[in-house]
Amino acid sequence: MSRAAVVLKLSLRNLFRNRRHSLYALATITIASMGLLIFMGFNRGTMDEYRENTIRARWGHGQLYMRGYREKAHERPWENWIESPQETIEKLRALPGVRELFPRVTIPAMIAAGGKAVAGQGEGIDGAAEARFFTRMNYVEGGDLNDRPFAIVLGIGLAQGLGVHVNDEVELVARAGNTALHSAKLTVSGIFQTGVQDFDSHAFRIPLKLAQQLLETERVETISVALSGVRAWPEFAGAANTLLPDLEAVPFDELDKVYYRHAVDWLDAQFAFIEDIVLLMVFFGIFNAISMTVMERTAEIGTLRAHGDSRMEIALGQVIEAAGLALLGGSLGILGGWLLSIGPLSHGIQMPPAPGLTRGLRITIELARDEALRVLGLAVVTSAAGSVLPVWRAMHIPIVEALRHV
């Protein structure tokens, strides 16, 4: 049996020696690990909910523009739009990860109904195709455009401003180029509430062909991309840039910096802060437990040193004890977190609207294996750190002083 094995055996037995102290330390680590894991799961669920909302309500996984188009304002923007969109879409369809492609144009317009007129920022879209992918529009009345040629869907703020409901008629007036004004009478087929107040107050969507007619163009401003998943973006973007160098592929989180990127950064920062507090609790829990252990076993440490144990062997024993507690507590915490996620928290947590949103989200606790391992790692590292000072003390107690200790 190696020396390390002997030290390990003694340390593990010591774990259960003073059960009250060990239980206290174990409970601290277990609860902290469980809390951390659940919070990580909640955070992941929140991020995923935000991400899905962003992707499936507005942007897709990303969009393609003519290179340089987004960097500056254009007097005649449509002159910088994508020519021959169908040909471009056919080429893009062969790229890795592509599920669907959605050509779009932006159309600023005045919308009038019942004597009221409101300025809106709309999009011309392929209603039937987009209905299959953009499933997070959250229609509070009616539904998607689908293939109706003279329909319009409105953000809830815009609809409220106009005082219209589903099946009401509105008149849309848009300027083509710098000259002609064109108008169309449209029937409201749906009213959506994505939750992003700014978007819902101005946004509308009409069929792509109608928008192109009103703008007198055959081009499209952008091609929105639906991929097999978020992770497919880098490969797709690289391939798209190689295949069509005139186009620029922009991911959804760059398109939606204000709503998504900032929210994610804010949540990440908040999470890091809470994580630090939890780890500090673990640190002091372990510090306290190991300090008590060293104090209680001072005479024993003296005996071991008298019989020839080196300072490092004494330190190793204490560190193994702390690590053992951390592994056990961390594992129990992970088990507890998992049980909570499949039990009481399996339906998620209904959250009120976050800052900048007008509707709440139901957040599911999404546990991930790498995060469970991270929790375990953090528990061990924090516990080891918490044991440093008491262990240092144990190493440096003079032997004769330790032997006198009662």
Partner 1 sequence: MALYEARGLSYRYRLNGHHVDALRGVDLEIKNGEFVAIAGPSGSGKTTLLNLIGLLDLPSGGSIHFEGKDVLNLAERERSLLRRERIGFIFQTFNLIPVLSACENVEYFLLKRKIRRAEARRRALEALDKVGIASQADQRPSDMSGGQRQRVAIARALVREPAVVLADEPTAALDQTTGLAVVNVMKHLNRERGITFIFSSHDPKILTAADRVIQLVDGRILQ
Q: List interacting residues with partner 1 (CB under 8 A).
A: 1-3, 5-6, 10, 13-14, 16-17, 299-300, 302-311, 313, 398-400, 403
Complex with partner 1: residue 18 or 187, whichever CB lies closer: 18
Q: Shortest gap between Cβ of 1 and partner 1 (angstroms)?
A: 5
What residues are paired with 141 via a beta bridge? 191
Q: Shortest gap between Cβ of 325 and partner 1 (angstroms)?
A: 15
**Spatial contact of 138 and 194, defined as CB atoms under 8 Å apart:** yes
Q: Shortest gap between Cβ of 294 and partner 1 (angstroms)?
A: 15
Complex with partner 1: residue 114 or 398, whichever CB lies closer: 398
**Spatial contact of 18 and 293, defined as CB atoms under 8 Å apart:** yes
Complex with partner 1: residue 222 or 318, whichever CB lies closer: 318
Q: Shortest gap between Cβ of 21 and partner 1 (angstroms)?
A: 14
The full length of the chain comes to 406
C-alpha to C-alpha distances, 113 to 160, 182, 204, nearest whole angstrom: 11, 16, 14
Q: Shortest gap between Cβ of 289 and partner 1 (angstroms)?
A: 16
Query: Looking at this protein, which amino acid is placed at residue 221?
Result: E
Q: Shortest gap between Cβ of 3 and partner 1 (angstroms)?
A: 5
Gap between the Cα atoms of 348 and 343, Å rounded: 10
C-alpha to C-alpha distances, 394 to 10, 215, 325, nearest whole angstrom: 16, 81, 18
Q: What are phi and psi of 93, to 5 degrees?
A: -60, -25
Complex with partner 1: residue 295 or 373, whichever CB lies closer: 295
Complex with partner 1: residue 6 or 280, whichever CB lies closer: 6
C-alpha to C-alpha distances, 7 to 14, 163, 224, 394, nearest whole angstrom: 10, 78, 62, 15
Complex with partner 1: residue 16 or 273, whichever CB lies closer: 16
Q: Shortest gap between Cβ of 26 and partner 1 (angstroms)?
A: 17
Complex with partner 1: residue 17 or 362, whichever CB lies closer: 17
Q: Shortest gap between Cβ of 282 and partner 1 (angstroms)?
A: 25
Helix (H, G, I), strand (E, B) or coil at 178: coil
Gap between the Cα atoms of 387 and 71, Å rounded: 54
**Spatial contact of 156 and 142, defined as CB atoms under 8 Å apart:** no
Half-sphere exposure of 393 (CA within 13 A, CB side): 15
Written as six digits, the tokens of 147 are: 């293939």
Gap between the Cα atoms of 30 and 198, Å rounded: 43
Q: Shortest gap between Cβ of 27 and partner 1 (angstroms)?
A: 21
Q: What are phi and psi of 146, to 5 degrees?
A: 50, -135
Which pairing describes strands 222-227 and 98-113: parallel, antiparallel, or unpaired? antiparallel
Give me the sign of the Cα torsion angle 159, 163, 168, 170.
negative
Q: Shortest gap between Cβ of 136 and partner 1 (angstroms)?
A: 59
Q: Shortest gap between Cβ of 326 and partner 1 (angstroms)?
A: 20
CA nearest neighbour of 225 among 86, 59, 83:
59
Complex with partner 1: residue 131 or 299, whichever CB lies closer: 299
**Spatial contact of 95 and 240, defined as CB atoms under 8 Å apart:** yes
Gap between the Cα atoms of 233 and 256, Å rounded: 16
Gap between the Cα atoms of 38 and 336, Å rounded: 9
Complex with partner 1: residue 3 or 257, whichever CB lies closer: 3
What residues are paired with 255 via a beta bridge? none
